Amino acid sequence: MSDTDDAEYAFDTLAVRAGQVRTGEQEQSEPIFLSSSFTFSSAAQAAARFAGDEPGNIYSRFSNPTVRTFQDRLAVMEGGECCVATASGMSAILATCMGLLNAGDHIVSSNGVFGTTVNLFSKILSRFGLETSFVPLTDYAAWEQAIRPETRMLYLETPSNPLTEVADMERMAALARAHDCLLVVDNCFCTPALQKPLEQGADIVIHSATKYLDGQGRCIGGAVVGDHQRVGEEVFAFLRTAGPTMSAFNAWVFLKGLETLTLRMRAHSENAMALADWLQHQPSVRQVNYPGLQSHPQHALASRQQTAYGGIISFEVDGGRAEAWRLIDAVRLISITANLGDLKTTITHPASTTHGRLSEQERRDYGIGENLIRLSVGIEDVADLQADLGPALARL
Ligand X SMILES: *Cc1c(COP(=O)(O)O)cnc(C)c1O
Residue ranges that bind ligand X, judged by CB under 6 A: 88-90, 114, 117, 157, 161, 186, 188, 208, 210-211, 220, 222
Q: Which of 283, 284, 378, 370 is nearest to 334 (CA)?
A: 378
| Cβ closest to ligand X, residue 14 vs residue 209 | 209
Query: At closest approach, how far in Å is the CB of 121 from ligand X?
Result: 12
Query: At closest approach, how far in Å is the CB of 114 from ligand X?
Result: 4
| Cβ closest to ligand X, residue 258 vs residue 392 | 258
Query: At closest approach, how far in Å is the CB of 213 from ligand X?
Result: 10
| Cβ closest to ligand X, residue 93 vs residue 146 | 93
| Cβ closest to ligand X, residue 80 vs residue 89 | 89
CB atoms within 10 A of CB 57: 17
| Cβ closest to ligand X, residue 105 vs residue 342 | 342
Q: What is the largest CA-CA distance in the chain?
A: 74
Rounded CA separation 198/225 (Å):
9
Query: At closest approach, how far in Å is the CB of 209 from ligand X?
Result: 7
Asked if 301 and 309 touch (Cβ cutoff 8 Å), the reply is no
- Cα torsion at 391, 394, 395, 396 (round to 10°)? 130
Helix (H, G, I), strand (E, B) or coil at 301: helix
Closest residue to bound ligand X by CB: 89
DSSP notation for 311-345: SEEEEEESSSHHHHHHHHHH-SSSEE-S--S-SS-
Query: At closest approach, how far in Å is the CB of 341 from ligand X?
Result: 8
Query: At closest approach, how far in Å is the CB of 78 from ligand X?
Result: 15
| Cβ closest to ligand X, residue 85 vs residue 285 | 85
Q: Determine the Cα angle at 25 with ends 24 and 28, to 5°.
A: 115
Q: What is the DSSP letter of 296?
A: S
